[in-house]
């Protein structure tokens, strides 16, 4: 990986594996990188708007978006951000009703 990190979110996508946020032992990270399945190399992607660790991350059913929920950056977070694979942009969505960290999210396709 480009950055050492722990307590990160990881999302597998058709174009690679995304490593999001985390903690490097000194600071909370907003960075994101992708392991490209074609080149077999890590690539830096656009960072999140808010640095955090112990977040949860999940892909949309159509694999066009990654959602990052909650996390911790010195305090529990209720923030939700969405990353667009197509436009390489992050945007805030309405916050969760409860601040959460060290949790998990699952996308169930019925």
**Least confident piece of the model among 38-42, 52-56, 100-104:** 100-104
Asked whether residue 107 is assigned to any structural domain, the reply reads no
Q: Is residue 109 over pLDDT 70?
A: no
Is 44 inside any structural domain?
yes
Within a domain: 104? no
- Judged against a pLDDT cut of 60, whether residue 67 lies above it is answered with yes
Identify whether 89 is part of a domain.
yes
pLDDT of residue 9: 97
Inside any domain, residue 110: no
For residue 104, pLDDT beyond 90: no
What DSSP assignment string belongs to the chain? --S--BS-EEEEETTEEEEEEEE-SSSEEEEEEEEETTTTEEEEEPPPSS--BS-EEEE-TTSSEEEEE--BSSSBB--EEEEETTTTEEEEEPPPSS-B-S--------
pLDDT given at position 106: 82
Residue 100 lies in a domain: no
pLDDT at 102 over 80: yes
Range of the domain at 64: 9-93
Q: What is the pLDDT of residue 110?
A: 56
Q: What's the domain count of the chain?
A: 1
């Amino acid at each position: 990986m480009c950055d050492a990190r722990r307590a990160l979110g990881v999302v597998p996508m058709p174009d690679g594996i995304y490593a999001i946020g985390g903690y490097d032992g000194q600071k909370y990270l907003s960075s994101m990188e992708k392991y490209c399945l074609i080149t077999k190399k890590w690539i830096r992607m656009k960072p999140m708007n808010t640095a955090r660790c112990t977040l949860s991350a999940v892909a949309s059913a159509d694999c066009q978006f990654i959602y990052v929920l909650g996390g911790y950056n010195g305090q529990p977070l209720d923030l939700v951000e969405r990353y667009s694979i197509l436009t390489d942009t992050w945007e805030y969505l309405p916050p969760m009703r409860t601040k959460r960290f060290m949790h998990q999210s699952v996308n169930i396709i019925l």
